[in-house]
Amino acid sequence: MPHRAAIVGAGHTRFGALAEGPRALLRGAVEEAFSSIDRGVDRTAVGEVFLATLGFGGWQIGNSSTVLSEEVGVAGAPTTRVENACASGGFAIRAAVGALATGTADLVLVGGLEKMTDVTNARRRYWLGVSGDTEWERSAGLTFAGVYGLIASAYLDLHHLGREALAEVAVKNHENGSLNPNAHFQKRVERAQVLRAPRVADPLGLYDCCPVSDGAAALLLTRADLARRYTDTPVYIDGIGAGSDFLAVQERPDPTRFRATRRAADEAFRSADRSRTGISFLEVHDCFTIAELLALDDLGFTEPGAAAALTLSGATARTGRLPVNPDGGLKAKGHPIGATGVSQAYEVFRQLRRAAGARQVPGAETALTHNVGGAGATAAVTIFSAG
Amino acid sequence: MPHRAAIVGAGHTRFGALAEGPRALLRGAVEEAFSSIDRGVDRTAVGEVFLATLGFGGWQIGNSSTVLSEEVGVAGAPTTRVENACASGGFAIRAAVGALATGTADLVLVGGLEKMTDVTNARRRYWLGVSGDTEWERSAGLTFAGVYGLIASAYLDLHHLGREALAEVAVKNHENGSLNPNAHFQKRVERAQVLRAPRVADPLGLYDCCPVSDGAAALLLTRADLARRYTDTPVYIDGIGAGSDFLAVQERPDPTRFRATRRAADEAFRSADRSRTGISFLEVHDCFTIAELLALDDLGFTEPGAAAALTLSGATARTGRLPVNPDGGLKAKGHPIGATGVSQAYEVFRQLRRAAGARQVPGAETALTHNVGGAGATAAVTIFSAG
């Protein structure tokens, strides 16, 4: 199990409908990441910067990675914007691992950002919609909730399931979110309340959908062999994988499986030389409740359809045998698009250092993050271990 | 001089105002890249895909890298969109080198694309404008030509120069473009014609500005040690560097120097362990004629201001002692934003294999490419050698 890289610092803003703009959000997350480095660091040591963002609030559409580097005092360092819609963060972390492998940088900053409220409604809809297929889905009027609603219908039908497991994902993730001071929603919900909520895209109701959030997250990564320069408790990246699929769901043989996730997971486990039973907890991409069930199946933790029973059994609760989304997930923590993949790694950093406060997963030693772009068009999976 | 990676195939569409949309342009470039591989390749060997694009024609704004992978038959492979405005291509190549270094892929596809005509005028202006600083430049009404016009004024004033060297850049690059069947402009211009053309942004006239073009380019890269699986004449990447600066020119101490270029060049030369005298020809980012002079200065081939005299001496002509932009440069070949950095490497691939036809640089053994995002906010520099 060779370590491929190490996270030595991480920061996170509150997620929600926030007053701050892109610069302030990024600065907040990055400053926390710098100050979280136990032995401190001169920020001129940052040799490379990646920014994950879809729309930057509709403000600086091009070249926005330079706004990050100049805002946090590392102007000059190579900067790159990585955009894979909702998977931008996961792919930016992957790019950072690549940059460390080339040896051009010893310390890499990854920032993830989205500013989705306080922009015109047209822009908000635009930036959400553009991540799905334009030719066959968006042009036909299909929204993201619509696509996932169709997937959910097919999944429930194929596996002879009701809406209870979907609702249980919402209940569990709201429970976890209630313990996370950065979460957009910090309130519990009851299963009956979830089931009777207004439908958004049948069978998905209001509580099956993640919110539209502002927020930022940041990581500082270094080569595994340098990690102890910065801290005695690095969090290692042991495996990383990614995959893609046809952008339009209609082009795929089975709408109830995300092949991009399966490929990404297989590559991540292979490169980490670790088995699924060796993972303490998961952070998966639950933009809709159905997506958490798909993730469990496609990551290989359950047979197709069995994610529902696992969820209903309570095993995926924070104190269950396979905790999923202890930070509340996209569902309750919120989903500022470019920030999400980075936020998942932030949660792993806190959990594996036993610094997750009230939402601490007992005994967490390893973790997996799973970040999806579009409705399964791109996916990045990363496997971590405690230092 | 360790080789860091190798280009084993490359393709390029015509640049210009074209009928084709994004899918057809990408397919055209990528199919040529595949068929240019001497020993052929099964495209399932492609283990990673990068797409450089700013706006994808305003059509598939998010997740567009999956359109590339699905269109050319490599759906499934990890795909990433890299966006650094006009430097997207150079940074995508850099990302490909990183992916090869991690060992997750043996063969990497890089596509660069922009579709800028046949979209609404608002969109065209939008996608061009968004690459510059929004807070201080765009919101004040400053266009890209305006920014470079101000830089040109400062440069000519500081170095006591007239407009002749600017005009000579246009004359030379149009001459080169006239020999390039893919160039947007394939006609020669005379210095007097350039000097008396209508002003766009003083001192820049019509012929000082690159056109708005459609087009795509593609590369297939592999690890240096695997290159001869594919061809006896790979083109090696020996050094690569990148840098950034404040996005707004007003934040920088000297508007006549691009620090991002200087940092990128220093890193590229250091990593290639090669001196400037060892470079046969350059492909530099001449979005405006002034930008070619800045590039020669900042890449370290001339002292500040001396690029003008070098250009007027004829040394940068295709048959001069330091040929610059033998393909016509952005000025005459055209500038489809995301395609440009990839197109520069395509030109190097053709030239170093002695396959550049009428525009062949005699005796070319090494080359440097220089790709800039915004008005000097990001820059990528790559150094190549013949196999």
Contacts of A130 in chain B (CB under 8 A): 60-63
How many angstroms separate the Cα of A281 from the Cα of each of A169, A174, A278, B171?
Answer: 15, 17, 9, 63
pLDDT digits (tens, 9 = 90+) for B224-266: 999 999 999 999 999 999 999 999 999 999 999 999 999 999 9
Tell whether A50 and A163 lie within a shared domain: no
Helices vs strands, H then E, count in chain A: 12, 11
**Do residues B170 and B291 lie in contact, with contact meaning Cβ atoms separated by under 8 Å?**
no
Tell whether B204 and B220 lie within a shared domain: no
Digits of tens for pLDDT over chain A (387 positions)?
578 999 999 999 999 999 999 999 999 999 999 999 999 899 999 999 999 999 888 788 889 999 999 999 999 999 999 999 999 999 999 999 999 999 889 999 999 999 998 776 656 666 667 778 888 888 888 899 999 999 999 999 999 999 999 999 999 999 999 999 999 999 999 999 999 999 999 999 999 999 999 999 999 999 999 999 999 999 999 999 999 999 999 999 999 999 999 999 999 999 999 999 999 999 999 999 999 999 999 999 999 999 999 999 999 999 999 999 999 999 999 999 999 999 999 999 999 999 999 999 999 999 999 999 999 999 999 999 998
**Where is the domain boundary, A200, A235, A270?**
A235
pLDDT: which is higher, B40 or B6: B6
**Closest-approach residue (CA) in chain B for A99:** B98
Residue A126 lies in a domain: no
Tell whether B32 and B156 lie within a shared domain: no
Tell whether B107 and B252 lie within a shared domain: no
| Shortest Cα–Cα distance, B341 to chain A (Å) | 14
**Closest-approach residue (CA) in chain B for A70:** B246
> What ipTM, to 2 d.p.?
0.95
| Shortest Cα–Cα distance, B285 to chain A (Å) | 16
Tell whether A197 and A282 lie within a shared domain: yes
pLDDT over 90 (residue B196): yes
Mean pLDDT of B124-141: 77
Tell whether B189 and B219 lie within a shared domain: no
Count of beta carbons in the 10 Å neighbourhood of residue A192: 10
Tell whether A99 and A205 lie within a shared domain: no
What are the helix (H) ranges across A36-120? 65-71, 88-102
Tell whether A60 and A184 lie within a shared domain: no
pLDDT over 90 (residue B78): yes
Count of beta carbons in the 10 Å neighbourhood of residue A303: 11
Residue B128 lies in a domain: no
CB–CB of B243 and A374 under 8 A? no
The pLDDT of residue B122 is: 58
pLDDT digits (tens, 9 = 90+) for B141-189: 889 999 999 999 999 999 999 999 999 999 999 999 999 999 999 999 9
Contacts of B87 in chain A (CB under 8 A): 63
| pLDDT tier, B138 (very low <50, low <70, confident <90, very high otherwise) | confident
pLDDT over 90 (residue B326): yes
- Residues A215, B99: Cα–Cα separation, whole Å: 29
Tell whether A33 and A140 lie within a shared domain: no
Residue A127 lies in a domain: no
Tell whether A116 and A223 lie within a shared domain: yes
> Which stretches does DSSP call E strand in chain B?
5-12, 46-52, 79-83, 107-114, 199-201, 204-205, 215-222, 235-244, 281-283, 366-373, 378-386
Residues of A labelled catalytic: 86, 335
The verdict on whether B86 is a catalytic residue reads yes
Phi, psi of A88 (to 5 degrees): -55, -40
- Residues B192, B172: Cα–Cα separation, whole Å: 13
Residue B9 lies in a domain: yes
Tell whether A158 and A302 lie within a shared domain: yes
Q: If DSSP codes are grouped into helix, strand and coil, which group holds residue B27?
A: helix
In terms of residue numbers, what domain contains B29? Answer: 5-120+213-235
Residue B84 lies in a domain: yes
Contacts of B267 in chain A (CB under 8 A): 104
CB–CB of A66 and B247 under 8 A? yes
Antiparallel, parallel or unpaired: β A46-52 and A107-114 = parallel
The number of folded domains in chain A is 2
Contacts of A242 in chain B (CB under 8 A): 78, 80
The pLDDT of residue A69 is: 96
Contacts of B380 in chain A (CB under 8 A): 78
pLDDT over 70 (residue B1): no
Q: Which residue is catalytic, options B86, B209, B210, B287?
A: B86
Residue A273 lies in a domain: yes
Taking CB atoms and an 8 Å cut-off, how many pairs form between chains A and B? 191
Question: Which among A78, A97, A126 has the least Cβ separation from residue B243?
Answer: A78
Q: CB contact, 8 Å: B9 with chain A? A: no
Residue B80 lies in a domain: yes
- Residues B168, A268: Cα–Cα separation, whole Å: 54
In sequence order, which residues have a C-beta less than 8 Å from that of residue A113 and are 6 or more positions away?
A: A22, A25, A26, A29, A51, A52, A53, A56, A68, A215, A216, A336, A338, A339
Antiparallel, parallel or unpaired: β B281-283 and B366-373 = parallel
Residue B268 lies in a domain: yes
Tell whether B366 and B322 lie within a shared domain: yes
CATH number reported for the structural domain that contains residue A363 in this entry: 3.40.47.10
Nearest to B212 by CA among B314, B307, B340, B342: B340
The pLDDT of residue B123 is: 63
- Residues A331, A339: Cα–Cα separation, whole Å: 14
- Residues B201, B146: Cα–Cα separation, whole Å: 5
DSSP A368: E
Computed over every residue of chain B, the mean pLDDT equals 95
pTM of the model: 0.97
Strand partners, A125: none
